[in-house]
Structure 1
Amino acid sequence: MYSIAELETFLAIIKHQGVVNAAKQLRLSPATVSHRLNKLEQHLGTTLLFRDSRTLTLSPAGSTFRERVEHILEALYDAEHEIGARGSAVSGLLRVTMPPWVFSQFVMPNLSQFEQAHPQLALDFLINDQFVNIVEGAQDVAIRVGQLADSGLLARKLCDNHRILCAAPSYITRYGMPDNINELQNHFFVCLPWQREFKLKEPNGRTVHFNAKTRFTISNSDNMTSAALAGHGIAVKSHIAIRDNLKRGELVPIIPGCLESDDAPIWFVRPQHSLKTRKAEAFYEFMKALFENRG
């Protein structure tokens, strides 16, 4: 009979696209990983993976077997999570990617609580505003903001959120408050490099494409907020990210409701074909508590 370790190794080879990469992630030798796969194929009497020096492809039998294995292991992990079959301590390494503002405003101030609750769990953070393919990037989970266009992701909403245009009072004093979207053409924006073009909504519901006029762009959402606070221009920001700034009057809304697509929920996502592990669930519960009642 094949072992759980062999099943986990089989899925790791698929996820990381090869024996060598899987061995690195599992902290095993390539020979051990290859041996486990060979034993599994011998037991089943079929080829699960077609592999050469460059590519790895699931056989028809391998594709069917993968689906069954994922369900079996996930059910097993769920059962272990409920009864604590692996003990009370959550351990291992969890790779997480998220935007800078989520990390700096929510995670970092509360990280010590998570560390105290799970001292044997190591976290590897990839902090980035750019889209990160969590499958190709070998990330276990991601925190995403906005409407999800990704296929192959399992998503759970952490909270509701929406985007707004905003600026500092010092900017408004210098350049004036725009009353409609046509007047935005005369204003400067601070934005992420890939955020210069977006859609605006006129009062009659008509959608117009808008190209923001910028003096500079910034590839970090935290620094973009700092630039807006310093009066360098109008910014498109998640409301939840600047809620305290709005309350203190450090930023003011610009033409509320003018963004064509302002709905931007906060999501906890993981790959469709990854397994729900105790470490991922522990981090989900942590993030869920951070965003509770914040939408």
Structure 2
Amino acid sequence: MSNLTDMEIFARVVGAGSMSAAGREMGLSPAVVSKRIRRLEDKLGTRLLQRTTRQIAMTEAGQGFYERVVAILASVEEAEAFVSRGSAQARGTLKVAAPTSFGRLHIAPHLSAFLEQNPDLSVNLDLDDGFVDIVGEGYDLAIRIAELSDSSLVARRLAPVHRILVASPDYISRHGTPRSINDLAENHVCLAAANQDPWRLVGPNGLESVRTAAPVKTNSSEVVRECLLAGVGIALRSTWDIGPELREGKLQIILSEYRASKDVGLHAVYPSRRFLPAKVRVFIDFLAALYGSSPYWDAGLDEWLNNPQRTHAAS
């Protein structure tokens, strides 16, 4: 009980009627209780208690001080209870940062269900493909698609991320299908945003790199996606980004034996594991249950990879 304030000890002494009784309640010796009361009186510059061998009595100053101390301690207890309730229940505003395309495709459409489950919450969702300083910019958490490096932040893996080579049927009809990595690098248009060059792929011969070359230069992954669908070239894309286009035959898998090399995953990143607010916990749990180890956007992935020339997914 060493974390008790002198004011709390004073109130306990008055309530118990003696220093010995108060000491037994608090697990402190009478000598310690007496020392703490003297320290409080010295700080205030007045005597609060009249001491006898068997009991204590409050002075006039002590009586007035006691009434105010009881009110203060009650307010502190109420404040602590309020914070505890806030930590146990999901309420308030949840500030989330997420990559632009992923947030638009796989977070925004599910917010209605999340908010229905958590009616006391509101969500501030900021979409940005740049690095976000979670602590400095006041975010509760961020969604990141990356191979995370060590940091002071806490990360929970929400789902795997598979990246594959794809092209539109129009591009394939005009340029043919690459027969090998060398053919891909030497004879085809390889679309990539500025930060995605070179491609590092793992295939039958282990790790191989492909320098991208295209008539379009951009820093936007969404521009690459639109060029891909328009038949400009071949791109390395995450399955969460192109699942519907694969199902509808708008895209086909190229060199299906190759995958992106990095162990990239979808993660929820937040500042600390201690005292995790309920609003953060319920959102992370919601996304983990929604995506999981076999996320919905990968439905039929094995079949697509084994049949790269197919134009429609099986029903």
Q: Note whether the superposition's TM-score is higher than 0.5.
A: yes
Secondary structure of 2:205's partner?
coil
Task: Give the conservation status (yes or no) of the 8 Å contact 2:87–2:278.
Answer: no
Q: 2:228 is paired with a residue of what secondary structure? A: helix
1:281 to 1:140, Cα distance in 2 relative to 1, 3 A? same
CA contact (8 A) 1:181 1:202 kept: no
Matches within 5 A, 1:93-104: 93-104=93-104
Alignment CA distance shift 1:247-1:201 (3 Å): same
Q: CA deviation at 1:97?
A: 1.3
On the 8 A contact 2:147/2:262 being kept in 1, the answer is no
Q: Which amino acid aligns with 1:191?
A: A
Shift of 1:88: 8.1
1:246 counterpart residue number: 246
Q: Distance in 2 between matches of 1:208 and 1:118?
A: 47
The amino acid that maps onto 1:276 is: L
> What code does the residue aligned with 1:163 have?
R
Offset, 1:2: 9.3
SS for the counterpart of 1:145 is strand
How many residue pairs get aligned? The number is 217
1:107 corresponds to: 107
Indicate the SS of the match to 2:209: strand
C-alpha distance in structure 2 between counterparts of 1:215 and 1:176, whole Å: 18
> Cα 1:163–1:276, aligned 2, differ >3 Å: closer, same or farther?
same
1:174 aligned onto 2:182: no
Taking structure 1 as reference, are residues 286 and 201 closer, same or farther at Cα in structure 2, changes over 3 Å only? closer
Please name the residue that 1:203 is paired with. Answer: 204
Asked whether the equivalents of residues 163 and 236 of structure 2 are also in contact (C-alpha less than 8 Å), the reply is yes
Residue 168 of structure 1 contacts residue 229 of structure 1 at CA under 8 Å; is this kept in 2? yes
1:224 matches 2:203:
no
- Within a 5 Å distance, the mapping from 1:1-295 to structure 2 comes to 85-86=85-86, 90-185=90-185, 186-201=187-202, 203-205=204-206, 207-259=207-259, 261-272=261-272, 275-292=275-292, 293-294=294-295
Question: Gapped runs of 5+ residues in structure 1?
Answer: 4-75
- The answer to whether the 8 Å contact 2:88/2:278 transfers is no
2:183 is paired with a residue of what secondary structure? helix
Considering only CA atoms, is the larger Rg found in Structure 1 or Structure 2? 2
Deviation at 1:138, TM superposition (A): 3.0
Calculate the TM-score normalised by the size of structure 1: 0.64
SS at structure 2 position matched to 1:126: strand
Taking structure 2 as the reference length, what is the TM-score of the superposition?
Answer: 0.60
Q: CA 1:232–1:195 in 2, change beyond 3 Å: closer, same or farther?
A: same
Closer/same/farther in 2, CA of residues 87 and 245 from structure 1, 3 Å limit:
same
Task: Specify the alignment match of 1:52 in structure 2.
Answer: none
Change (3 A) 1:2 1:225: farther
Q: Given that residues 181 and 200 in structure 1 are in contact (C-alpha distance below 8 angstroms), is that contact kept between their aligned partners in structure 2? A: no
Moved more, 251-260 or 280-289: 251-260
| TM-aligned CA deviation for residue 255 of structure 1 | 1.2
Matched AA of 2:236: V
Indicate the larger mover: 230-239 or 185-194: 185-194
Q: How many angstroms apart in 2 are the aligned matches of 1:136 and 1:86?
A: 23
Any idea what the Cα deviations from partners look like across 1:117-136, whole Å, max 9, x if unmatched? 33432322221223333233
Shift of 1:231: 1.1
For the Cα contact (< 8 Å) 2:87–2:277, is it kept in 1? no
Amino acid at match of 2:196: Q
- Corresponding residue SS for 2:133: coil
Equivalent position SS for 2:250? coil
Q: Which deviations, in whole Å up to 9, do the C-alpha atoms of 1:176-221 show, x marking residues without a partner?
A: 111111112222233222112232345322x343220022244443
Where 2:111 maps in the other structure, the secondary structure is helix
Is the deviation greater in 271-280 or in 170-179?
271-280
SS in 2 for 1:151: coil
Distance 1:264 1:118, change over 3 A: same
Letter paired with 1:190: L
Distance 1:277 1:291, change over 3 A: same
| Structure 2 residue ranges without an equivalent (≥5) | 6-79, 299-315
* Structure 2 equivalent of residue 67 of structure 1: none
Contact 2:169 2:252 in 1 (8 A): yes
Q: Which digits, 9 at most, give the CA deviation of each residue in 1:53-75, with x for residues without a partner?
A: xxxxxxxxxxxxxxxxxxxxxxx
How far apart are 1:262 and its partner, in Å? 4.8
Displacement of 1:281 in angstroms is 1.0
C-alpha RMSD of matched pairs (Å): 3.0
| Alpha carbons of structure 1 residues 120 and 177: separation in structure 2 relative to 1, 3 Å | same
